[in-house]
Each structure stands twice: as C-alpha cells, then as structure tokens.
Structure 1
Amino acid sequence: MFTCSHQPPCPSSSDTDREAARVLASHPEQGWSLLCNGVVLFDDTGELLPDGAAIAPHRPRVAA
C-alpha cells in the first residue's frame, strides 16, 4: 500500500481525482509516470491502479 507523506495528502488511488497525486518517477521516454498513490499514469491518459485494475484512456472531449 502506498502512503503519502505530503501535506495536504495526495488523493488516493480510489479517488476520482487520483491523477492529481504527485509524480514519484517519470519515464517520458517510455510513456508513463508513477504517482504517489501507486497509480501508473500513461501518456495516452490510461491508468494502471495498484490493485491491477486498468482504466482505459480517457482523453477530454473537444467542444464542437
């Protein structure tokens, strides 16, 4: 389990704003970053949660 020591604490991996957690390790050459809450965030906006669940890419919609 990941424990955040930041103040205020980063959102947990189960929060809807989990992508707002701080980056612990960044690997732009490979297209991913590890967040403080254990989430692996991919450049295509997909996510891998600490429990192994995958979140499909969710790019913002462009207003027409």
Structure 2
Amino acid sequence: MCQHQPPCPTADSADRESARLTAHHPEQGWSLLCNGVLLFEDTGELLPDGQVIAPHRPLGTGQVMTAA
C-alpha cells in the first residue's frame, strides 16, 4: 500500500500512527493514514481488517486513576 521510502509502518505495527496522512478531514474528526488506518480525533482507530482500537488519550495533569 505505502509507496514512501522508507516505507511507513504497517497497520499492525506498534508505531502505526506515525504513517503519513493521505486524507485529513478535521471538520469530520478523522484522518486516513498511508497504511490504511483511520485515525479519529478522540485517538480511536479503525484498522484495515476492521479491528477497532479504543481511544487512548493520556490523562491530563491533575487527574488520577483510581482502582475501583
């Protein structure tokens, strides 16, 4: 899929989000990466095989995660 040199990371690699943008639609909240990943503004992802990656925003400063 990717024609860049060096090639972009594949959709199943850990650094898949560093692939180049091929389409960017901030008004709709999504971008398409060169490796076929749909990246959403909430940091969720849809992989080319249909797998959904839940949003993974870091917690802001001052917020603490507590165990339930």
The residue that corresponds to 2:49 in the other structure is 51
The residue that corresponds to 1:12 in the other structure is 10
TM-score (norm 2): 0.85
Q: Which runs of 5+ in 2 are unaligned?
A: 63-68
| Number of equivalent positions | 62
Bigger Rg, which one: 2
The residue that corresponds to 2:65 in the other structure is none
1:11-59 deviation per Cα after TM superposition (whole angstroms, max 9, x unaligned): 0000000000000000000000000000000000000000001000001
Sequence identity (%): 69
Partner letter of residue 35 of structure 2?
N
Larger RCO, structures 1/2 (Cα 8 Å, 6+ apart): 1
Q: Which runs of 5+ in 1 are unaligned?
A: none
Give the CA deviation at 1:61.
3.6
Give the CA deviation at 1:8.
0.7
The residue that corresponds to 1:29 in the other structure is 27
Partner letter of residue 24 of structure 2?
S
